[in-house]
Amino acid sequence: MNHLASQDPRIFAAIEREVDRQNHGLELIASENFVSRSVMQAMGSVFTNKYAEGLPGRRYYGGCEFADTAEDLARERAKRLFKCDWVNVQPHSGASANAAVYLSCLNPGDTFLGLDLAHGGHLTHGSPVNFSGIWFKATYYGVEQDGHIDMNRVREKAKAVRPKLISIGASAYSRDFDYEAFRAIADEVGALLWMDMAHPAGLIAAGLLNDPLPYAHIVTTTTHKTLRGPRGGMILVGRDFENPFGKVARKSGRVRNMSELLDSAVFPGMQGGPLVHVIAAKAVAFEEALQPEFVAYSRQVQRNAAAMANVFLSRGYDVVSGGTDNHLVLVDLRSKNTTGRDAERALQAAHITVNKNMVPFDDKSPFVTSGIRLGTAAVTTRGFKEADIERTVALIDNVLSMPNDESVLHQVRKDVYSLCTAYPLYDFVIA
C-alpha cells in the first residue's frame, strides 16, 4: 500500500489504525467476520472499474465477458453450496436483497408478518422507521418469556392478520427455526414464505442447522457474517415456481416465474450496475465455503458460541433463551445493574468490541438497551477454541464488574493484546 501511503496519507493512516484495531482487539460483533486474503484481493481488483448492468450474456454494456465469467462462477458455486436451482448474487447488501423480495411479492400497503425487531428481528422485517414498515403493513410475532418462538402463537397471528408474506430470520435470535412448521402455516393462510438467513448462512451451508431451502419460497442472505465473504447480499430459490399473485410481464402478458421477478426487482427495480469486484469476491468465498475446512470452521463457531453461553451462565449472567444453537449469544444485563450502552462503552475501552442490543420485553430504549449481542464467527476465524472463549468471557466479566476502575481496564487491555497476539490476523495488509 506504498502508493496509497504517499498519495493520500490521511486515508492510509485510517486504514493502518483499523488494521491495528482488528489485529489487537477482540471482535465479538455477531454480524462481523474476517475475510481471507484471497477474498480481499478480489475485492480490491480492477473489476471495480467495470459497469455490468444486466445478467451474464444479457448486459447493457460491452466488454463484460470477464465480468460474466466472475458472476457465472459466483452463481454456480452458490447453487452448489446451498443445493438450489437459482440465485442472484448482485444485491449490494442484505437490505437490498430483502427490498427485492418485497418488490417481487407485495404491493404497497399489503400485509406481511415478521419477527418483531424488539424480540430479535431485523430492521428490514417491518420496523416502522424502515422502508419495509413504511410502504407495507407490518405485523409481528415474537418470542415467549423463555426466549423461544412458539409456533402455535405464530399460527394464531397468521390466521388473524392473513399476510401475503411471512418472513423468518433475525439479527438477535440464537435458536434454530422450524421451517417445516412455518411452511405449513404459510400454506394454511395462503402466504409466501421467505427466510432471511443472513446470520446463520454459513452454518446452514455447512449442514449444522436446519435448511430453509426445501421449505421457504425465497431465501435471502448477506455474504459476510458466518459465510465469511465480502459485504454483500444474495437471493436464492430452492425450486423455481410461478408467482402465485399473478404479476405478469408488461408486454407478453405471461405469468413469470419467481426467479424472473426477483431478477427484475434487483435490476432495474432496486439497483443499477452490480459491483463486479464484490461479486468476484463472493465467488472466492463460496469456493472456500465448499471446502471441508469450512465445515470444520463452522463446527468450531458453534462450539465456541455454546461455550460462551455456558460461561456467561456460570458467572451469573442471564442468557436469552438459556443458550444458543448458532453463532450468537444475547445477554440480558438487567440482573447486573448495567445497560447495554454502558457495557458496550466499557468493553470498547478495554479493546473488546460488542454491540448494545435490545432483549425481549426490554424496558429500555433502543439507544440504551438492556443487553449486549456477541458472536463467535470472527474470533473463530482467528483460531479461537473453547478455552480462549472462556478466557474472553472472564475478561468481559472483569470489565463489567468494575467498569470504572482504570487499573482493571489497563490489565484487561494487556490481556486482550496478549490473547490477540497469539492469533495474528492481517499483518500483510500494510506490508
CA–CA gap between residue 286 and residue 300 (Å, rounded)? 19
Please name the residue that has the C-alpha cell 408486454: 251
Chain-centroid distance, C-alpha 40? 19
What DSSP element (H or E) covers 158? Answer: helix 151-161
Please report which confidence band the pLDDT of residue 251 belongs to, taking 50, 70 and 90 as the band edges: very low
CA–CA gap between residue 262 and residue 289 (Å, rounded)? 25
Beta bridge partners of 139: 113
How far are the Cα atoms of 61, 132, 377 from residue 349, in angstroms, in the given order?
49, 35, 22
Name the average pLDDT for the chain: 94
Contact 368, 338 (CB under 8 A): no
Q: What is the pLDDT of residue 426?
A: 74
Beta bridge partners of 293: none
107: number of Cβ within 10 Å: 12
Mean pLDDT of 153-168: 98
244 pLDDT exceeds 70?
A: no
Domains delineated in the chain: 41-289 (3.40.640.10), 292-430 (3.90.1150.10)
Please report which confidence band the pLDDT of residue 430 belongs to, taking 50, 70 and 90 as the band edges: very low
254 pLDDT exceeds 70?
A: no
Contact 193, 166 (CB under 8 A): yes
Residues shown for the chain: 431
Angle at 163 between CA 160 and CA 168, to 5 degrees: 105
CB-facing half-sphere around the CA of 375: CA atoms within 13 A: 26
364: number of Cβ within 10 Å: 17
Mean pLDDT of 73-101: 97
Q: What is the pLDDT of residue 368?
A: 97
Q: What is the pLDDT of residue 1?
A: 81
Q: What is the pLDDT of residue 380?
A: 97
Quick: pLDDT tens for 318-376: 999 999 999 999 999 999 999 999 999 999 999 999 999 999 999 999 999 999 999 99
Single-letter code of the amino acid located at 308: M
428 pLDDT exceeds 90?
A: no
Catalytic residue ranges = 51, 53, 196, 222, 225, 231
Q: Tell which residue, 215, 237, 287, 294, has the closest CA to residue 104.
A: 237
How buried is 158 (Cβ within 10 angstroms: 0-12 exposed, 13-18 middle, 19+ buried)? buried
